[in-house]
Structure 1
Amino acid sequence: MSRVVAPGRAMRLSYGIVLRQLITRGRIVALALVGLVVTGVAAAVGAADDRSDPIETGVRLISDLGFTTLVPIVALVFASAALGDMREDSTLVYLWLRPMDRWPIVVGAWLAAVTVSLPITLVPLIASSIAVDGGSELVGATALAGTVGVLAYSALFVLIGLLLKNAIVWGLGYVLIWEGIVAAFGSFAARLAIRGYTRSILTSITEVDLDLGDLSLAVGVVVPAVASVVALALASYRLRVMDIA
């Protein structure tokens, strides 16, 4: 009988394998360019002389470009591919057949997606918050909200990558249709939109009102964390029961 792989070792194994397959030149360059565009827009706004309130201007720019576009799209590209690509090309079977629990595989893949997504999103967003002269409050709010967003979106999209084919399409549907349209018309839908929690973090720290940003700082941090755990648990269950071989 094969010796069962310890959870810590299994997680490191999954993390290393997934990280190597996620880091491709095309993905990194394309998404880094998106981040540069966001920073360029922020620099142009920061250079303008007609801003009455730099903090409000910065919050709205970070929210509209960063947390509406950059954070969810970057997380979608990497997290949906973390296990989804391996399932599609049948290489996931090499992890699946090893004598180890499924949850370390999922957590390792999620951590790999987060490892790549965080710098690609946080560096340009923090640079943007500095460029618009929003002060330390905006920088701190951007860093916290960006981290929470990447962690939560990555967990959700790892799950979608295991559940559905064409995960990019389904993920874009969630980001553009659910978060962009449906969440604006009902409180229940808004509570199922990660964007509402990242905006609430911005609002709570900077005191600049944003649509969907009416939750407390604690709720803005805790609920996405709980949702991430639930998504990873569901992904672990899915990996355990699915037929890969």
Structure 2
Amino acid sequence: MYNSTVARLTYRGLLGRRRALILFLLPALLLLIAVAVRQLTGVDDQIAADVLGGFALATMVPLIGVIAGTGAIGPEIDDGSIVYLLAKPVKRPTIIVTKLLVAIGVTVVFSAVPTLIAGFILNGNSQNVAVAYALAAAVASVAYSAVFLLLGTVTRHAVVAGLVYALVWESLFGSLIEGARTLSVQQWALALAQKTADGGLVTSDVGLVPAVVLLSVVTALATWYAGQKLRVLKLAGEE
């Protein structure tokens, strides 16, 4: 279920000049904010949690997930170059799983790792805040990558759809409407962070067990359905 050639091509596409600039920009902004906040406020556990929760997990992680998840396959489908890959003797579910693993790896590196570093800058991991939010970012990266990879297979407007989900549903509705919070990847990831952090600094509207179940189900279903969509994608001359 993993093909090194597909992985290499996907990495090249994701880390091209334009996407790489955006991928580096968001973590750099987080680290800049962390340094500035630390200089202005000193060590403050609550402020550290607010910065990591409000910017890193709520904004940076889903945006990087959109870039990596949709970029892993969407452009190839849009420009038609996917036909060259599909013509190779590689099973289509293998293509999806490989691209998903690449998208997860890129999202984790550019979101969870900077979140951990920012947490250490802000409060030196006091109350396990840095580790908790880094864990949440890593877990959310998996689900976001699967969901946005699926969007890349079902619509030519995957980036727009992903941004609407990330910024409108997750950030806006998820923060204002109580019912929407329970259907939020961010809240599911926060359930694991809440279990890790000390002092009640991290809270979630979803229990740990439901969060783990929902994260697993959404990731599995999105991956499976993306594989099904790619399986029925017809090459010219196949019919």
Same structural fold, with TM-score higher than 0.5 when normalized by the shorter chain? yes
- 1:45–1:132 CA contact under 8 A, matched in 2: yes
- 8 Å CA contact 2:59, 2:167 repeated in 1: no
Measured after TM superposition, the shift of residue 136 of structure 1 is 6.1
Distance in 2 (alpha carbons) for counterparts of 1:216 and 1:149: 15
Query: Which amino acid letter does the alignment assign opposite residue 93 of structure 1?
Result: V
Match of 1:15 in 2: 7
Q: Tell me, in whole angstroms, the C-alpha distance in 2 between the residues paired with 1:218 and 1:177.
A: 26
* From 198, 203, 225, the counterpart of 1:234: 225
Distance in 1 (alpha carbons) for counterparts of 2:82 and 2:109: 26
Structure 1 partner of 2:201: 208
Q: Which amino acid aligns with 1:43?
A: V
Task: Give the total of aligned pairs.
Answer: 232
Alignment of 1:107-122 (within 5 A): 107-122=97-112
Give a deviation string over 1:215-239, Cα, whole Å, max 9, x none: 2334434421321111000000011
Shift of 1:50: 6.8
Measured against aligned partners, the alpha-carbon deviations of 1:164-191 in whole angstroms (never above 9, x if no partner) come to 112111101101111123333242x323
Q: TM-score, normalised by structure 1?
A: 0.86
Match of 2:19 in 1: 27
Structure 1 residue aligned with 2:82, among 72, 88, 92?
92
CA distance in 1, matches of 2:137, 2:71: 20
Write the letter of the residue equivalent to 1:116: V
Q: How does 1:147-166 map to 2 (within 5 A)?
A: 147-166=138-157
With over 3 angstroms needed to count, the CA separation of the structure-2 counterparts of 1:119 and 1:127, relative to structure 1, is same
Q: What's the secondary structure of 1:227's corresponding residue? A: helix
| Alignment correspondent of 1:36 | 28
Q: Are residues 1:75 and 2:75 paired?
A: no
TM-superposition CA deviations, 1:11-66 (whole Å, max 9, x none): 33322221222111222223212211111111222223476xx2222111101101
* Structure 1, gaps ≥5 residues long: 1-6
Q: CA RMSD in A?
A: 2.0
In structure 2, runs of 5+ residues without a counterpart are none
Give 3-state SS (helix, strand or coil) of 2:72's partner.
Answer: helix
Q: Deviations over 1:123-174 (max 9, x none)?
A: 3211110111142611221221111111110000000011011211110110
> Do the aligned partners of residues 209 and 122 (structure 1) sit closer, same or farther apart at CA in structure 2, a change above 3 Å counting?
closer
Quote the Cα distance in structure 1 between the aligned partners of 2:235 and 2:127.
Answer: 49
% identical equivalent positions? 26
Distance of aligned partners of 1:194 and 1:244 in 2 relative to their CA distance in 1, 3 Å threshold: farther
The match for 2:118 is 128
CA offsets 1:183-226 (integer angstroms, 9 cap, x no match): 33242x3232111112222333222254xx12233443442132
TM-score of the aligned structures, taking structure 2 as reference length: 0.88
* Partner Cα distance (1:78, 1:147) in 2: 14
